[in-house]
Chain A
Amino acid sequence: MSGGPVVDVTGLWTVYGDLVVHRDLDFSVMPGEVVALVGGSGSGKTTLLRQMLGLERPQRGSIRVFGVPLHTCDAGLFKKIRKRWGVLFQQGALYSALSVFDNIALPLRELHAFDADFIRDIVMVKLDAVGMDKRHASTMPADLSGGMIKRVALARALVLEPELVFLDEPTAGLDPDSSEAFVKLVRDLHIKLNFTVVMATHDLDTLVSVSDRIAVLADQKVVVCGPLDEVVRHEHPFIRDFFLGERGRRALSAAPALQTN
C-alpha cells in the first residue's frame, strides 16, 4: 500500500433486469480512513458492499481493492486479498454450529500455520480486545445477546489482523447503549490498529462519531463524498431529509466540527 486508494470503484453499473441500481458510480477510500456509506433503503449500499467483497459481480466498471481488480484478477491473488480484509455482517453471521471460541479460531486454523496453543492465546487476546468475558468462549452463538454477537463477529473479523474492515450496519438491532459502546469499540480499535474502515450504516450517531468521510448514495450514484460538514451543505433532497430532519439535527448537534454553525 503505497499511498494509493485501498478501495477504488470506477464507472460501476449494476442492473437487475430493468432496475438500474448503480449508474456510472465512482467511489474510493484512502488508507487509514473511516468512510461511511449512507443512502435510503434500496439505494444499493449493501449491493455495493457485496460487490467490493467480491460476492457479486457488477455489470460494468472496475472495483480495485489494494490496487487489484477484484473481478478480473486470478483466483490465487483474490484469495490473498481476502485474507487482508475482515467483514462484519449485519446479523453477525457467526457459524451457529460452532462455539464463540471456534468461530474466532476458524480463520486462524484455516491458515495451518499456528499450533492449537498459539491459536488459543490469540483468540483470548481478540476476545479481550472486543471486551468479551472469557467465560463466553465456550458459549454457542444462539445463547448470545445481540451486542455480544456483534462483538464476537468483530473479533472474528479482526483475527487475521486485516488492513481493511467492512462493517455492514454495525449498530443495527442494538439498543442505544450497546450501540454507543460498540461504536466506541470500533473507534478505539481503529485508532490503535489503524485499519481502514468502510461501513454501510443508517445510524446518524455512528456516522457523526466515527466517520472521516461520508459517501451519500442517491440517484444511483455517490452524490457527494466528503467530511460531515461538506456533506451537510450539499443540496440534495435525501441529504436534507436525512441530516436536517429532527433526528438528524439532534445527532449533528453533538458533532464537534459543526458547532460553529
Chain B
Amino acid sequence: MLVRDPDVQVTVAGDGARVVHLSGAWDIRALESRAAALQSALRDAGPAQVSLWDLTQIQRFDHIGAMLVWRTWGRCRPGRLQLRREHEIFFGACETAEAVASSPAAPDRFPLLLALGRGVWAVSGHVLEMLQLFGQLLIDAASVARQPLLRPWREFSAAIYKIGVQALGITALVGFLIGVVLSYLSAEQLRLVGADVFIVNILGIGIVRELGPVICSILVAGRSGSAITAQLGVMRVTEELDALSVMGISNTLRLILPKTAAIAVALPLLVLWTSGVALVGGAVSANAELGMSAYQFFTALPAAVPEVNLWLGVGKGAVFGVLIALIACHFGLRIQPNTESLAAGTTRSVVTSITAVIVADAILAVIFSDVGWS
C-alpha cells in the first residue's frame, strides 16, 4: 500500500454541506516537516461544528496527528465526524488528558530586598555549616588521638599521595615559571637604578612569604578541592554516604578527616617545594639578566629574608589547606542527587576556596605586617 503525504481537502456535497477530507499519513514522521502548513490548512477549512469531518482516508495516525486535528477543533469533537475504529483511541487520549494550565506564581513585591535577604541567609547558612563541620572534625581528631591504631591511616596516606606527591610536577612547573618571570621583570627595573643586589630581597620576600603559599594553594584548590567535592557529590548521588552511615562508619571520620589532615600536612610541604623551585627559577633568570651567579644569589638569601618568613609561608600553607579542605567537603556534602547540582557544587567549591584563600591571605598579611623584615 502506497502511503501518501497528509492532505486536507474541502468539498461541498449536493445538499450544500461542507465536507473536510483528511487523507494520507498523519503521523509524526509525516508531520514533522509540515505541521505548520497543515495546521493552517485545517484552520482554513472553517469552524469545526459547521462541516462534516471525514477522517476515514487517513492511512497512518498517531497521537501527534490526532492532537494537531484536535487543537484546530477547539478541543472538542465536531458534531459530525467519520473516523476509523482503530483511530478512535487517539482522540480518546486527547480527551482524557486535558492540559492543566499551571497558574504562574505571584510576582515578588520587593525582588531586590528578597534577593539580598536570600543571599545573606545562604551565606550565613554556609558559614554555620562549615563551622559545624570543623567542630565535628575536631571531635573526630580527638577520638583519633584516643585510639590512634583504629583510625583511617591508610586513607590519610593515600590522600597525602594524591594531594601532595602527584602535585609535585605541576607546582614545580608553575613555581619555576613564576620565579623566572618575576625575576626578569624586577631585574629590568632594578638595573635602571643600579640596585641589582636587591633582586634577592624582592624575590626572597615575595616568593617565600606571598607567592609560594598563594600559588600553591590555588593550584591545590583547583586540583584537589574540585576532586574532593566531586567525589563526595557522586558518593551522595550513588547513596554511598548513606551506606557508610548505616554501617555505623562516620562520614566525617572516614572520608573528611583524612583528607583535611592530608591537605593540612601536604600543602605546607608543597609550599616549601614550590617556593624553592620558584627561587631556583628566579636565580636562573637573575643570572641571565644581571649576571648574578647562583652562588651569590643563594648566599645573599638568608641575610635578605629572615627565617620567620619561611615559617610564615609554611603556616599559611597549613591554614589555606584546612580552608580548602573544609570548603571542598562542605560543598561536596551539600550536593543533591542530580547532575546539575554536581556541576554547580564543584564550580562553587573551587571558586569559593580560591576566594577564601586570597581573603585569608590578605587578613594574615595585615596581622603579620610587622613581622619578618630584616
Contacts and interface: CB of A to CB of B under 8 A. Distances in A.
Contacts of A97: 338-341
B96 A128 contact: yes
B158 to A, nearest CB: 29
B: interface residue count bin: 20 to 34
Interface string A125-163: 111110000100010111000000000000000001100
A114 interface: yes
A128 B97 contact: yes
Contacts of A192: 89
A129 B27 contact: no
B35 A114 contact: yes
Interface stretch (A69-77, A116-124, A174-182, A253-261): A116-124
Q: Is the interface of B mostly helix, strand, loop or mixed?
A: helix
A125 B32 contact: no
A37 B60 CA distance: 30
B116 to A, nearest CB: 27
Contacts of B93: 125, 128-129
B197 interface: no
A129 B64 CA distance: 13
Contacts of A122: 63-64, 67
B98 interface: yes
B147 interface: no
A84 interface: yes
B28 A161 contact: yes
B32 A111 contact: yes
Contact of B338 (A111, A113, A125, A140): A140
A96 interface: yes
A83 interface: yes
B106 interface: no
B102 interface: yes
B100 interface: yes
Contacts of A114: 35, 64
A198 to B, nearest CB: 20
Interface in B21-36: 27-29, 31-33, 35
B60 to A, nearest CB: 10
A138 B102 contact: yes
A118 B66 CA distance: 11
A141 B99 CA distance: 21
Interface residues of A, number: 27
Contacts of B338: 96-97, 140-142
A169 B299 CA distance: 73
A125 B93 CA distance: 6
A122 B100 CA distance: 12
Nearest to B101: A120
Interface string A42-85: 00000000000000000000000000000000000000000110
A44 to B, nearest CB: 26
B235 to A, nearest CB: 15
A195 B339 CA distance: 32
Contacts of A134: 97, 100
Contacts, number: 64
B65 to A, nearest CB: 9
Contacts of A124: 97-100
A128 B89 CA distance: 13
A121 B89 contact: no
Interface in B47-64: 62-64
Contact of B27 (A96, A113, A161): A161
B25 to A, nearest CB: 12
Interface in B91-111: 93-94, 96-100, 102
A113 B97 contact: no
Contact of A84 (B29, B68, B94, B98): B29
A47 to B, nearest CB: 23
Contacts of A95: 339
A72 B13 CA distance: 53
A52 to B, nearest CB: 20
B63 A113 contact: no
A135 to B, nearest CB: 9
A89 to B, nearest CB: 15
B4 interface: no
Given A125-B94, A138-B102, A161 B62 contact: yes
A142 B35 contact: no
A121 B67 contact: yes
A126 B90 CA distance: 11
A178 B62 CA distance: 27
| Central interface residue in B27, B62, B67, B96, by most chain A CB within 10 Å | B67
A106 to B, nearest CB: 14
B337 interface: yes
B336 interface: yes
Contacts of A120: 99
B347 to A, nearest CB: 14
B97 A127 contact: yes
9 contacts: A96-B338, A97-B341, A114-B35, A118-B67, A120-B99, A124-B98, A128-B97, A142-B336, A161-B62
Given A118-B35, A161-B62, 12 more contacts: A83-B29, A84-B29, A96-B338, A96-B340, A97-B339, A113-B31, A114-B64, A121-B71, A128-B97, A129-B63, A161-B27, A161-B64
Interface of A: 83-84, 95-97, 111, 113-114, 118, 120-122, 124-129, 134, 138, 140-142, 160-161, 192-193
Interface of B: 27-29, 31-33, 35, 62-64, 67-68, 71, 89, 93-94, 96-100, 102, 336-341
